[in-house]
């Protein structure tokens, strides 16, 4: 009698009524809670986490008889691991539109207060529809109810309100249309775009410079080789993305020129080590040559020569500082000449049209770029060849000026004593070969001759997957090879760099306490505040306020596709720092 439908004692559980249904279009229930931070708890539009649910067998399918916004609200039964909110112990539901859920009616036979107890996980082979809230399936039209959580509803989402599938939800194999997201609960070990990106990051080489003076230049050249290898790997992924879905879904390069500039800056960092070594060599040779001059000068003239040495040293430092300032442009030009990105991109698109790669293999075949040491040596040689005229000219000017000074002193002293030795032309050519400069050792770690020589680090680069590793012995850089290539290679043309903006005398002082008040939460202008609130409302509802010309009343309407595209283009054109 207690379990019959004729008698209801009013106790929860005596007439436990089950149901299975589907969560409706989220445009009908997502405003139940506030989308952002709020201070007043009474400003919450709804009561708890609730969802509109279309219960199978109780509600007609489709929108004709019962639209989504007329469906009953379903509360959620949380697991014991989620807590109830007391003592800050709580979790939010992980439900989305399109989920198939089941539960019971809290009010029993009245069937007006459904409670969600659980969710049925989606299968990885299930084809998910990309539209929700339509009449695709009705009581008279059969079809699958499976719907994507990213499906477009009755009110289109725009801006940050529109969900973007994360890398963990993207497959590396091209899925069938529609839908490119996995959206399943069973294929947890399926390879995703996040796995591929993580693997690429694990294999990316991080340059390790060696602090030993004898290994500094070879280490810098190996750093250039490693940087070029990382660059070609990224370029290969970018070009493969034209023909390969796996590379396209994991590609993170949006501007190929910015990528080239970024690696030009990194390579210029290692190139500076080489230029600093050449500067050390020039200054050492110059100081060694001037020792003979100082020894021949009378003591009354040596202080003048000391002042000249200080000035010449500062001039040499200034010269190499200017060369360093233009290194990035030289490296960028050399990279652009060595790697014809527009040509490679055109070839990749032609192969994509033919369905083949550069070796005639299928378009999805993988490649592994190889960068030998000679590539780094050639790039270094081209940059040195471009800077060599400035270096030689500066060296010659220094030698000529010193010899002129020596001639004046020689003539002055000879006229006084008549027997002063000839000290003209004691300054030799301070130039020399690139080989001598790059292999020059200015510092010796063994001061007393009996110290134990420290062990030189072996690792040239580091990867997150394999830790430290080194280039093979066959790929050791050669100073002689760079010297030969400097004579044979064409010099890098160099690119003009955009200088930093510097304030002038007329520039007003910046008050750090008040600058930037026109941006974000600190804005005070009522018109700007109103515009920001209007943008927030459009982003939240996907609707825009317009004036009806016939009634002069303000009405809300959904954004058209053209308006959405225009707003998206305007957002993409903003430069945010």
pLDDT at position 166 is 79
pLDDT surpassing 50 at residue 36: yes
For residue 93, the cross-strand partners are none
Confidence at residue 355, expressed as pLDDT on a 0 to 100 scale: 66
Most confident of 85-99, 452-466, 557-571: 85-99
- Are the beta carbons of 46 and 32 closer than 8 angstroms? yes
The three-state (H, E, C) secondary structure of 335-367, written as one string = HHHHCCHHHHHHHHHHHHHHCECCCCCECCCCC
Residue 192's pLDDT is 80
pLDDT value of position 445: 64
Pairing of strands 461-463, 206-207: antiparallel
Tell me the β-bridge partners of 118: 102
- The stretch 189-200 carries a mean pLDDT of 82
Residue 182 or residue 51, greater confidence: 51
Highest average pLDDT, of 19-23, 133-137, 406-410, 500-504, comes from 19-23
pLDDT in tens, 196-239: 888 888 888 999 988 877 888 888 888 888 898 888 888 888 77
Higher confidence at residue 231 or residue 347?
Answer: 231
Stretch 398-415: mean pLDDT, rounded? 73
pLDDT of residue 39: 86
Predicted local distance difference test score (pLDDT) of residue 521: 53
Least confident of 274-288, 320-334, 394-408: 394-408
Q: What is the tens place of the pLDDT at every residue in 62-74? A: 888 899 999 999 9
Are 335 and 267 a contacting pair, CB within 8 Å? Answer: yes
Tokens found for residue 481: 């090879």
pLDDT confidence bin for 550, thresholds 50/70/90 = low
Task: Tell me what pLDDT residue 1 has.
Answer: 38
pLDDT of residue 431: 55
129, two tokens:
């529809």
Q: Please, which residues have CB within 8 angstroms of residue 106's CB and are 6 or more apart in sequence? A: 12, 75, 113, 114, 115
Q: pLDDT at position 379, please?
A: 83
Please tell me the predicted confidence (pLDDT) of residue 176.
61
Least confident among 450-454, 481-485, 520-524: 520-524
Q: What is the pLDDT of residue 513?
A: 65
**Pairwise CA distance, residues 192 & 156, whole Å:** 27
Q: Inform me whether the pLDDT recorded for 577 exceeds 50.
A: no
CA–CA distance, 70 with 452 (Å, rounded to integer): 85
H or E element that contains 41: none
Please give the pLDDT value at position 116. 95
- As a whole number, mean pLDDT of residues 23-52 equals 87
Average the pLDDT over each of 445-449, 470-474, 521-525 and give the range with the smallest value: 521-525
Q: Among 87-91, 125-129, 166-170, 224-228, where is mean pLDDT lowest?
A: 166-170
- Residue 419 — pLDDT band, cuts 50, 70, 90? very low
pLDDT for 238 equals 79
pTM above 0.95, yes or no: no
Give dist(CA 271, CA 307) in Å, integer: 31
Q: Rounded to an integer, what distance in angstroms lies between the CA atom of residue 51 and that of residue 117?
A: 13
Reduced DSSP (H G I as helix, E B as strand, rest coil) percent helix, strand, coil of the chain, to 5: 45, 10, 45
Residue among 64, 53, 46, 60 at smallest CA distance from 26: 53
Q: What is the pLDDT of residue 369?
A: 59
User: Which pLDDT score, from 0 to 100, does residue 576 have?
Assistant: 46
Highest mean pLDDT among 93-107, 343-357, 365-379: 93-107
Cβ count near 361 (within 10 Å): 12
pLDDT recorded at residue 11? 65
Q: Give the whole-angstrom CA distance, residue 76 versus residue 53.
A: 11
pLDDT of residue 2: 45
With bands split at pLDDT 50, 70 and 90, how would you rate the model's confidence at 19?
very high
CA distances from residue 102 to 48, 162, 219, 265, 384 in whole angstroms, order as listed: 19, 27, 64, 58, 72
Q: Give the helix/strand (H/E) hosting 53.
A: strand 51-55
- Cβ distance 433 to 481 under 8 Å? no
Is residue 450 scored above 60 in pLDDT? yes
Helix residue ranges per DSSP H, 472-577: 479-488, 526-541, 561-572
Enter the tokens of residue 557: 């309407």
Of the ranges 134-138, 243-247, 546-550, which is most confident?
A: 134-138
Are the C-beta atoms of residues 435 and 480 closer than 8 Å to each other?
Answer: yes
- Among residues 510, 266, 511, the alpha carbon closest in space to that of 376 is found at 266
- For residue 9, what pLDDT is reported? 65
**Contact yes or no for 108/38 (Cβ under 8 A):** no
Q: Is 150 helix (H, G, I), strand (E, B) or coil?
A: strand
> CA–CA separation, 297 vs 330, rounded Å?
43
**175 or 220, which is more confident:** 220
- 3-class secondary structure per residue, 421-481: CCCCCCCCCCCCCHHHHHCCCCCCCCCCCCCCCCCCCCCCEEECCCEEECCCHHHCCCHHH
CA neighbours within 13 Å on the CB side: how many for 144?
11
CA–centroid distance for 321 within its chain? 30
- C-alpha–C-alpha distance, residues 200 and 251, integer Å: 11
- Percent of residues, the chain, with pLDDT higher than 70: 80
| Averaged confidence pLDDT in the chain | 78
Q: How far apart are CA 96 and CA 148, in angstroms?
A: 9
* pLDDT at residue number 114: 94
74 three-state secondary structure:
strand
Q: For 393, how many CA atoms within 13 A lie in the half-sphere containing its CB?
A: 8
Q: Can you give the pLDDT at residue 54?
A: 94
Q: What is the pLDDT of residues 280-294, one digit of tens each?
A: 888 888 888 777 777
Q: What is the pLDDT of residues 532-548, one digit of tens each?
A: 777 777 777 777 777 66
Q: What is the pLDDT of residues 228-238, one digit of tens each?
A: 888 888 888 87
């Amino acid at each position: 009698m207690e379990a019959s439908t004729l008698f209801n004692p009013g106790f929860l559980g005596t007439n436990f009524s089950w149901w299975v249904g589907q969560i409706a279009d989220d445009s009908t229930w997502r405003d139940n809670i506030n989308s952002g931070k709020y201070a007043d708890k009474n400003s919450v539009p709804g009561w708890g986490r609730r969802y509109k649910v279309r219960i199978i067998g109780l509600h007609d399918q489709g929108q004709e008889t019962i639209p989504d916004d007329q469906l009953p609200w379903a509360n959620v039964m949380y697991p014991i691991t989620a807590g109830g909110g007391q003592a800050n112990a709580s979790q939010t539901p992980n439900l989305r539109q399109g989920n198939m859920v089941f539960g019971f009616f809290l009010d029993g036979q009245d069937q007006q207060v459904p409670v969600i107890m659980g969710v049925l996980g989606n299968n990885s082979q299930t084809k998910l529809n990309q539209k929700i809230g339509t009449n695709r399936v009705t009581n008279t039209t059969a079809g699958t109810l499976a719907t994507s959580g990213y499906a477009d509803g009755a009110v289109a989402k725009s801006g940050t309100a529109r969900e973007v599938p994360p890398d963990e939800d993207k497959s590396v194999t091209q899925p069938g249309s529609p839908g490119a997201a996995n959206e399943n609960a069973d294929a947890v070990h399926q390879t995703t775009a996040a796995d591929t990106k993580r693997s690429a990051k694990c294999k990316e080489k991080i340059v390790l410079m060696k602090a030993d003076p004898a290994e500094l230049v070879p280490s810098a050249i190996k750093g250039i080789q490693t940087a070029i290898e990382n660059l070609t790997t990224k370029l290969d992924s970018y070009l493969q993305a034209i023909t390969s879905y796996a590379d396209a879904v994991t590609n993170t390069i949006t501007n190929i020129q910015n990528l080239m500039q970024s690696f030009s800056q990194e390579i210029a960092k290692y190139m500076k080590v080489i230029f600093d070594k050449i500067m050390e060599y020039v200054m050492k040779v110059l100081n060694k040559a001037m020792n003979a001059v100082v020894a021949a000068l009378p003591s009354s003239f040596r202080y003048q020569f000391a002042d000249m040495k200080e000035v010449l040293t500062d001039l040499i430092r200034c010269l190499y500082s200017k060369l360093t300032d233009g290194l990035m442009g030289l490296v960028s030009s050399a990279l652009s000449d060595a790697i014809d990105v527009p040509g490679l991109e055109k070839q990749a698109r032609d192969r994509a049209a033919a369905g083949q790669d550069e070796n005639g293999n299928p378009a999805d075949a993988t490649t592994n770029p190889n960068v030998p040491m000679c590539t780094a040596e050639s790039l270094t040689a081209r940059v040195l060849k471009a800077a060599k005229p400035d270096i030689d000219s500066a060296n010659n000017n220094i030698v000529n000026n010193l010899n002129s000074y020596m001639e004046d002193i020689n003539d002055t002293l000879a006229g006084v004593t008549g027997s002063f030795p000839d000290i003209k032309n004691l300054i030799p050519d301070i130039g020399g070969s690139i080989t001598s400069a790059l292999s020059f050792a200015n510092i010796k770690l063994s001061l007393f001759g009996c110290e134990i020589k420290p062990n030189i680090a072996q690792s040239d680069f580091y990867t997150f997957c394999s830790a430290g590793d080194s280039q093979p012995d066959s790929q050791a850089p050669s100073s002689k090879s760079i010297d030969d290539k400097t004579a044979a290679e064409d010099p890098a043309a160099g690119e003009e760099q955009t200088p930093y903006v510097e304030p002038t005398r007329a520039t007003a002082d910046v008050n750090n306490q008040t600058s930037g008040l026109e941006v974000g939460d600190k804005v005070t202008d009522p018109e700007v505040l109103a515009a920001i609130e209007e943008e927030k409302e459009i982003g939240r509802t996907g609707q825009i306020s317009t004036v009806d010309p016939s009634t002069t009343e303000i009405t809300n309407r959904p954004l058209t596709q053209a308006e959405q595209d225009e707003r998206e283009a305007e957002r993409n054109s903003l430069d945010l720092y």
